[in-house]
Amino acid sequence: KNGDIGRAAPPNVAAPGWSDGVDVRLAPTTLGKLRHVLGELHDGLEGRPEDALVRRALALLGELETDDSARGRHEEALRASEARFRLLSRVTSDAIWDWDLVTDELWWSEGFETLFGYSRDDVENSIASWTSRVHPDDVDATVQSVQRAIHDGKPSWTGEYRYRRKDGSYAWVLDRGWVICDEGGTPTQMIGGLADLTARRETERQLRRQARLIDEARDAILVRDLEGRVVYLNARAESLYGWTAAEAKGRDVREMQFACALEEFDRANDEVIARGEWQGELRQVRRDGTELLVEGRWTLVPGEEGEPATVLAINSDISERKLLEERVFRSQRLESIGTLAGGIAHDLNNVLAPILASIAMLKLDESDPERLEDLTTIERSAYRGAQMVGQLLSFARGAGGVHEEVDVSRLVQEVARVARDTFPKSIQVRMALVDRPWWVSADPTQMHQVLMNLCVNARDAMPRGGRLDVKVANVVLDEMYAQMNPQVVPGRYVVVQVEDTGEGMTREVFDRMFEPFFTTKPVGKGTGLGLSTAHTIVREHGGFIDACSEVGVGTTVCVYLPAIDSERDDRASDEVKRPSFGGGELVLVVDDEPAIRTMVKRTLERFGYRVLLAAHGAEAIATYANASERIDVVLTDMAMPVMDGPATIIALQAIDPSVRIVASSGLDDGARAALGARVKHFIAKPYTGQALLDILYTAIHG
């Protein structure tokens, strides 16, 4: 310095005025001049001790030139990087920000203006400008999450929140930031960007709304690929088939839903692939193995490039609807049966009436017990046939039966006799009757129907044979029993127990045994009306049915009927009742059936009556007008040609208001027609001779 080189310190010793750690920066030309001067000094001092200091200066100068060159390159790279950052912040649609954690200064890119409508000049250059625009409901949680990320030394942070636009509305944004630390690891800077999620959020909301609508659909919606693998299930499909969407995804729909109808599925699937759509009914199976019937609407859905990709299946469960339709069809068939029964009841009863009316005459002259028993059997069979026709008509049209005092044990004996004669010989029929059974108030025909239904069901439950036990007993049900069975009224009951050793019923079948139209029998073998009808009849009689069953052991059904106080002598029922003779009274018989007129005439004349005959109402009016003073009673049919019964009755009452009339009909509405015509006495066809004599005696003598 100043040419005083001789006083320079030796190598490796710091010279006076020098200090370490000083950042020296010289222009390239200055460095070149300095190198030139030092080179000349080196040449002049070569071999002298001072030359060592010159060489050290040249080495230091070389290091200085190297550091300065590297620094220049670094600064140039930094300027290029900053230029790229600025350019990137312009071309991206996000709002890029740069936050100085030391000074809290915040820089925004031009995307900030685009997204939120602000000018960068309108926004203060501090972090407060950001927090003040975060939605009040989101600001605390968002700021805390950022601070927590910085404090915990996390390299990045991500959050979603609402940010206020210049117009006051809020945009949902996705904010992502990266933390930059100095050489000591202290966070000094954070750079990130905001992306507007408002449109995406709205789309997601609409998708969720559409998904809820799909889940709320009453139809089962399923999407599967062309290989049959399930892609999607809605909530209704989950509940219908018993599979969750996660469980069903990827499963083969053939195994999952169509194990019971693979051929039907293959035909429908081939059609939807060939034609693009299919519609029809298909049998499917639930996860628990139960079958159901669905109405399917399948559509082939193309992929992004237009090629077939998936099948959209919309299935409606029509199992209940089909069941209701079947019930309606069966009801219509029953109505048809009722109409048919109504059409033939009159003619059939007219056929049975002469048979029943003649029995009384045949019994009158018969003393042989065996012949009397045969006549009684004929009479009961004919009468039972007539009652069955009437019962069928009443059941189809909803009419109730006529109750009378009934000895249930005698009905059981009749049913057991029919069972022994008609059931397979492999079934043993046994009876156990109480010595003096109580009587019940019931319709004998309906009770006969109940017992026959129970016995027939027992027979069907024993296809390989077995034992059928029918028992009758008297029981008293107390208050305790009634408390355990709310449908029971305490009191005296006659119980009929029908027990078989058949296959028994499962719990599912047992729970539905009294359900109308429910049957386990094949199509054409049963209607499902037997037990339901029996249950209805017993309840209408004030009783109830109790049952138990065990698979492989058998079934026991008990019918409880309320007992009544009766003064009837059971022994008297075994005797043949002898009809009372008439005293020469004159009876006008009006009927369009010649066989009935003839048989009634013969029966009445045999028992002391005189008889006049008329084939229809007009003839009866003429006959009565000529002999009204001599005629004691008129027996008239209600359904006749020319002039029917109601019109005839009105005409007779017009001629003689005090005329005694007994109406007769084989139709279920005959009694109502007679009542409408103000007739007190009515006898249903077909009637026995005894019943005819009784009603005539009552009409004449009161």
Residue-wise pLDDT tens digits, 74-133: 556 556 555 555 555 555 667 888 899 989 898 888 788 888 888 877 788 888 888 999
**Mean pLDDT (whole number) for 61-73:** 62
User: For 678, left (φ over 0), alpha (ψ -120 to 50), or beta?
Assistant: left
Q: Determine the Cα–Cα distance for residues 98 and 523; give it in Å rounded to an integer.
A: 82
Contact residues for 250 (Cβ-Cβ < 8 A; gap 6+): 229, 230
At 237, the pLDDT band (50, 70, 90 cuts) reads confident
In the numeric block, which tokens belong to residue 18? 């020098």
Is-contact 520 460, C-beta < 8 A? no
Q: What sign results for the dihedral spanned by CA atoms 688, 689, 693, 694?
A: negative
Q: How far is CA 518 from CA 463, 503, 510, 521, 523, in A?
A: 20, 18, 11, 9, 12
Q: Apex CA 30: angle with CA 27 and CA 31, to 5°?
A: 85
Tens of pLDDT, residues 331-368: 676 667 666 666 666 667 777 777 877 777 777 777 78
Q: How far from chain centre, in Å, is Cα 679?
A: 53
Q: List C-alpha distances in Å: 210 to 14, 206, 234.
A: 82, 6, 11
DSSP H helices, 365-467, are 369-397, 408-422, 444-460
Q: Are 537 and 450 a contacting pair, CB within 8 Å?
A: yes
Assigned token pair, 422: 């008609």
Reduced to 3 states (helix: H, G, I; strand: E, B; else coil), residue 641 is: coil
Report whether pLDDT(10) > 60.
no
Quick: pLDDT tens for 451-462: 888 888 889 889
User: What are the tens digits of pLDDT across the range 391-426?
Assistant: 555 555 554 556 788 888 888 888 888 888 888 889
Q: 661: which strand partners?
A: 634
CA distance linking residue 113 with residue 91, whole number of Å: 13
Overall pTM surpassing 0.75 (yes/no): no
Helix (H), strand (E) counts: the chain: 22, 22
CB environment 155-176: b (16+ within 10 A), e (fewer): eebebebbbbeeeeebbbbbbe
Question: From the centroid of its chain, how far is CA 641?
Answer: 54
Indicate the pLDDT class of residue 5, thresholds 50, 70 and 90.
Answer: very low
Question: Strand 554-564 and strand 491-500: pairing?
Answer: antiparallel
Nearest-angstrom CA–CA distance, 134 and 671? 90
Highest mean pLDDT among 61-70, 168-177, 573-582: 168-177
Q: What is the mean pLDDT of the chain?
A: 79
Q: Say how far apart CA 111 and CA 126 lie, in whole Å.
A: 17
In 208-322, which ranges are E strands? 220-225, 230-233, 277-285, 291-302, 308-317
Give CA–CA dist 456/444, Å, rounded: 18
**Pair type for strands 230-233 and 220-225:** antiparallel
User: What is the rounded distance in angstroms from the CA atom of residue 13 to the CA atom of residue 613?
Assistant: 166
The two structure tokens encoding residue 562? 């309320």
User: What is the pLDDT, as a whole number, of residue 570?
Assistant: 47
Give the C-alpha separation, 544 to 261, whole Å. 42
Residues 6 or more apart in contact with residue 581 via CB below 8 angstroms: 607, 608
Residue 258 sits at φ, ψ, to 5 deg, of -120, 30
CA pair distance 281, 316, nearest whole angstrom: 9
Pairwise CA distance, residues 109 & 88, whole Å? 9
28-44 and 51-91 are packed helices; what angle lies between their axes, rounded to 10 degrees?
160
Looking at the predicted structure, is the pLDDT value of residue 40 above 90?
no
Residues of the chain above pLDDT 70, percent = 77
Mean pLDDT of 223-249: 87
CA distance 482 to 560: 13
Question: Sign of the C-alpha dihedral, residues 215, 221, 227, 228?
Answer: positive
160: amino acid identity, one letter: E
Local structure of 201: helix, strand or coil = helix
The type of residue at 288 is D
CB 408 within 8 A of CB 494: yes
For 559-607, the pLDDT digits (tens) are 999 998 765 544 444 444 555 678 889 999 999 888 888 888 988 888 8
Cα dist from 555 to 414, 513, 546, whole Å: 22, 12, 11
